[in-house]
Chain A
Amino acid sequence: GIQVEQSPPDLILQEGANSTLRCNFSDSVNNLQWFHQNPWGQLINLFYIPSGTKQNGRLSATTVATERYSLLYISSSQTTDSGVYFCAVGRGSEKLVFGKGTKLTVNP
């Protein structure tokens, strides 16, 4: 099955800093999503981005499908950005495979 690798596993930032999270995957996909899980367990869908670039406020994402990676950019980080960021990939109607996540801590 598809392998998904996220880096870094842990990231600690000061409020206001920028960061880049990476997701590598082992095979072609037509479904790629980024999620943020807050400390209470709620999973929020940030982007559905099988290819191309999208932006939503301080967050943006780029997926280069031909090179099998995706990047999530967080600018001017805030303490509320803390939590775990998951990348998940899939093909067609096959199951979505989650990476192990990047745990982000933003300190005030």
Chain B
Amino acid sequence: DTEVTQTPKHLVMGMTNKKSLKCEQHMGHRAMYWYKQKAKKPPELMFVYSYEKLSINESVPSRFSPECPNSSLLNLHLHALQPEDSALYLCASSQASGVTVYGYTFGSGTRLTVV
């Protein structure tokens, strides 16, 4: 299995809703990432998990809450989002060996619309 699977593919949520994005990989990768991408812009890093521990938080607002229950699964919990949070949310994974990180594999993303 050489894929990163993201669900759902599309999500519309109200500003008072709570929802979760899910990301799964079975490649044995020990680094997993959440990125946010607005239209016509490059992906922006949100969070990095290394060996199931949060290693980088790019000053993301607390209405985004990541979780890594095990080495194959990464969740992003959403609460009280704003319309400007509407974007494509991408998950990625990579092999990691000490401080060396290798090629990333991205999922197909969740297109989120906040109304």
Contact = CB atoms under 8 A, between A and B. Distances in A.
Interface string A12-36: 0000000000000000001101010
A9 to B, nearest CB: 11
A100 B109 CA distance: 19
Interface of chain B, main secondary structure:
strand
Contacts of A43: 43, 90, 92, 106, 109
Interface in B94-115: 96, 99-106, 108-109, 111
Interface in A52-105: 86, 88, 90, 92-93, 95-96, 98-101
B61 interface: no
Contacts, number: 56
**Chain B interface bracket (under 10, 10 to 19, 20 to 34, 35 or more):** 20 to 34
Given A41-B109, A41-B111, A48-B102, A98 B56 contact: no
Interface residues of A, number: 23
Nearest to B96: A93
A95 B99 CA distance: 11
B86 interface: no
Given A43-B43, A45-B106, A93-B101, 18 more contacts: A35-B106, A41-B37, A41-B88, A42-B108, A43-B90, A43-B109, A44-B106, A48-B102, A86-B42, A88-B104, A92-B99, A92-B100, A93-B55, A96-B101, A96-B104, A98-B44, A99-B42, A101-B42
Interface of B: 37, 41-45, 48, 50, 55-56, 58, 88, 90, 92, 96, 99-106, 108-109, 111
